[in-house]
Amino acid sequence: MKIESGVGASFFFDEKIHRGKDFGIGEIGHIPFDTSNNAIICSCGGKGCFETILSDWAIEKKIEDKTGKKYKINEIILRANKNEEIFKNLMLELIPIYSNIIFWISTLINPEKIIFYGEISQCKDFFWKELNRKIKEGNLNRVSPLEIISCSFNNEIVVKGAIFLALENLFKK
């Protein structure tokens, strides 16, 4: 699951990435979540999508609304990691929303693990321990619990992955 300027996912089954019809698999950021009258309009035209709540820009906006100051996502996470209350509390407030996505994914496709990347991966244990606790508490599969991992990818790895995928598609045809 990628959490950056948007929210997306890739699905890796049987040693290969699945793309879906028209490369549409993994667009989980555009699933409506907030159905309130105050829900934010998403870039897709929908209202209250996960992206309007969990993306980096959405978190930056929430902090600006609470503090009156602009902060970039990396500074927000750094301050949350230093236990600065307003920043840490905001990150913890997002856990039920992350849990909702994870429960949907785990119920629909029953993955072995979910790997998060993006700035969110820089959160320290306060976030990941609570998210894992929440997932374990609500997981239907008690025999083999879902593994939640955070991972940092640098841009070089992402570019190499894109090249590999393009070459794989080219030579399949």
Residue 143 confidence (pLDDT)? 66
Residue 113 confidence (pLDDT)? 86
Three-state SS for 111?
coil
Instruction: Inform me whether the pLDDT recorded for 104 exceeds 90.
Output: no
Rounded to the nearest integer, the mean pLDDT of the chain is 85
Closest by Cα among 13, 29, 8, 7 to 113: 13
Share of the chain above pLDDT 90, in %: 46
Residue 126 confidence (pLDDT)? 95
130 in the Ramachandran plot: left (φ > 0), alpha (ψ -120 to 50) or beta? alpha
Each residue of 17-46: pLDDT tens digit? 776 666 667 788 899 999 999 999 999 999
Distance CA 166, CA 123 (A): 32
Q: How confident is the model at residue 2 (pLDDT cuts 50, 70, 90)?
A: confident
Residue 158 confidence (pLDDT)? 58
Distance CA 33, CA 51 (A): 9
Structural domains of the chain sorted by starting position, each given as residue range(s) with its CATH number in brackets: 2-172 (3.30.420.40)
